[in-house]
């Protein structure tokens, strides 16, 4: 059995760890509330914009037009992988990294697959096995629509210029604080509407359907990327809060076990001292 000093040092060390994990949990909980509000408020707008484009597409007999909808034979693929800049968030980053690696190695086996990473953790791991053409880690320092729009424009230009035949987003979609869903979402080309018959088309168009569509598509792509990053950002804080909660609970359990061990060791030491005193007294009497 370890000596009392060693056990006491371990108890103090675990207590310090508990303070850190508990503080990180509270910080993540505060950030999660703000990030969750942002993505919750944005989803209705993004969904309405998508529905409008579907309606316009249907009104134009399913033809969106332009380079954005060009369906090509897929030989070059770009995966935009969204992770976080920091760790200590459980399996948040590893789930996205695994999904991206599986997508590149298996689903697109035999094709040229390049990556554009958003988040330091994904870039550090994936750059060892895949070609990363760029990383946008700084976006999380100032996560705004305008900054995200610049990235969306760069990605869109790569597709329009013929550098890639297909572009996909790989990220964690926020469901709740305890659940993050690894998601693969087509960014370009624009996927035709499957249920075109169910889409309402009672709109009056001015100046014309074609001009409206060509103006809305870039806006829709920027919104799609911004929503994905916002989703990932909220999911990150949810994952970190959950991870720190579990870490605090585990540290509490370990501390309680060590306290029990410490008390048993202390009791055994006191018992031994009493026995030594009693034995010494008996020796003096004899």
- 211, part of any domain: yes
Does residue 247 belong to any structural domain of this protein?
A: no
Residue pair 171/186 in contact (Cβ under 8 Å)? The answer is no
Residues 124, 58: Cα–Cα separation, whole Å? 43
Is 135 a residue of the active site?
A: no
Q: In CATH, what number is assigned to the domain containing residue 99?
A: 3.40.1380.10
Domain of 78?
Answer: 24-242
Q: Does residue 251 sit within a domain?
A: no
> Does residue 135 form part of some domain?
yes
Residue 265's pLDDT is: 85
Residue 129 lies in a domain: yes
How many domains would you assign to the chain?
1
Asked if residue 73 belongs to a domain, the reply is: yes
Question: Buried b / exposed e across 165-192, counting CB within 10 Å, b at 16+?
Answer: bbbbbbbbbbeebeebebbebebbbbee
Q: What is the pLDDT of residues 203-221, one digit of tens each?
A: 677 777 777 777 888 888 9
The gap between the terminal CA atoms of the chain, to the nearest Å, is 34
Q: What is the pLDDT of residues 130-142, one digit of tens each?
A: 999 999 999 999 9
Q: Is 21 exposed, middle or buried (0-12, 13-18, 19+ CB in 10 A)?
A: buried
Q: Is 88 part of any domain?
A: yes
Q: Which position among 89, 116, 158, 188 bears the catalytic label?
A: 89
User: What's the rounded mean pLDDT across residues 256-266?
Assistant: 89
Decide: helix, strand or coil at residue 226: helix
- For 241-277, give one letter per residue: b (16+ CB within 10 A) or e: bbbbbebbeebeeebeebeebbeebeeeeeeeeeeee
How confident is the model at residue 276, as a pLDDT? Answer: 82
pLDDT at residue 278 in the model: 81
Hey, which of 34-38, 51-55, 61-65, 76-80 has the most confident mean pLDDT?
A: 76-80
What local confidence, expressed as pLDDT, does residue 63 receive? 53
Average pLDDT estimate for 14-21: 92
Sign of CA dihedral 84, 88, 92, 96: positive
- 128/68: higher pLDDT: 128
Q: Is the pLDDT of residue 196 over 70?
A: no
- Record the tokens describing residue 266, joined without a space: 């202390």
Q: How confident is the model over 104-113, as pLDDT tens digits?
A: 999 999 999 9
Give pLDDT, residue 96: 96
CA 178 – CA 231 distance, rounded (Å): 14
More confident residue, 191 or 174: 174
Does 277 fall in a domain? Answer: no
């Amino acid at each position: 059995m370890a000596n009392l000093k060693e056990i006491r040092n371990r108890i103090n060390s675990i207590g310090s760890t508990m303070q850190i994990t508990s503080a990180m949990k509270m910080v993540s909980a505060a950030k999660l509330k703000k990030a969750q509000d942002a993505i919750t408020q944005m989803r209705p707008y993004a969904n309405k914009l998508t529905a409008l484009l579907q309606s316009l597409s249907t009104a134009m007999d399913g033809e969106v037009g332009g380079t954005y909808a060009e369906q090509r034979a897929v030989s070059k693929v770009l995966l935009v992988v969204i992770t976080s800049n920091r760790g200590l968030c459980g399996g948040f980053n590893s789930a996205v990294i695994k999904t991206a690696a599986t997508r590149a190695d298996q689903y697109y086996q035999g094709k040229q697959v390049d990556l554009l990473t958003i988040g330091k953790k994904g870039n550090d791991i994936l750059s060892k096995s895949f070609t990363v053409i760029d990383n946008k880690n700084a976006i999380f320092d100032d996560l705004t629509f305008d900054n995200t729009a610049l990235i969306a424009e760069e990605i869109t230009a790569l597709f329009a210029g013929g550098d890639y035949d297909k572009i996909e987003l790989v990220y964690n979609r926020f469901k709740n604080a305890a659940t993050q869903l690894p998601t693969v979402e087509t960014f370009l080309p624009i996927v035709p509407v499957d249920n075109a018959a169910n889409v309402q088309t009672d709109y009056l168009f001015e100046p014309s359907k074609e001009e409206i569509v060509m103006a809305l598509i870039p806006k829709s792509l920027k919104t799609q990327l911004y929503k994905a990053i916002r989703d990932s950002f909220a999911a990150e804080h949810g994952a970190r809060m959950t991870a720190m909660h579990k870490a605090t609970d585990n540290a509490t359990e370990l501390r309680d076990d060590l306290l029990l061990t410490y008390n048993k060791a202390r009791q055994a030491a006191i018992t031994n001292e009493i026995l030594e005193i009693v034995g010494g007294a008996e020796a003096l009497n004899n």
